[in-house]
Amino acid sequence: MDTLDARIVALFTGDHKMSVLEASRALAVARATVQARLDKLQAAGAITGWGPQLDPEGIGYPVRAYCSLAIHQDAGHDGVAAALAGIPEVLELHTVSGEFDLLACVVARSNADLQRVLDAVLATGTVVRSSSSVVLNTPIASRMLPLVEAAAVPDEL
């Protein structure tokens, strides 16, 4: 990724509806250049999607928690992932090192509803125990643009 790639990503991050032609005009480069760069970033897996970004709070799920999960080892990570994928409130699941096996990000409609979600996780029969941390505030939300800018290699002259 070079600085032009970073500038293209920054434009589309700021305005998801921007056209390639608008981006080419804003960057003073050819439309084909912008399209080729976007295609290259998608092929490399740097750009993974173009859909709307949703906020769980905006659709009625204001409570977020991170749950460390110890699993039944005979179920395997794939079996646990398949079981937890059936719970819509499980937004992310990561295999981790340390005392626990997995880290799940879950959402709920309320603190009381969080208990229902946690009960559903345990009811899969794949989790031995869990420990949850409820998110109180999010001073830095999920972001990629600063990382893109830091990763950009200066353009060659």
Helices (H) and strands (E) in the chain, counts: 6, 4
Tokens of 103: 């880290």
Whole-angstrom Cα distance, residue 59 to residue 52? 13
pLDDT by residue (tens digit) across 103-136? 999 999 999 999 999 999 999 999 999 999 999 9
Residue with tokens 């899969």: 124
Domains of the chain: 3-51 (1.10.10.10), 56-134 (3.30.70.920)
Among 65, 73, 132, smallest CA distance to 101 is for 73
pLDDT by residue (tens digit) across 29-67? 999 999 999 999 999 999 998 888 889 999 999 999 999
In this prediction the pTM is: 0.85
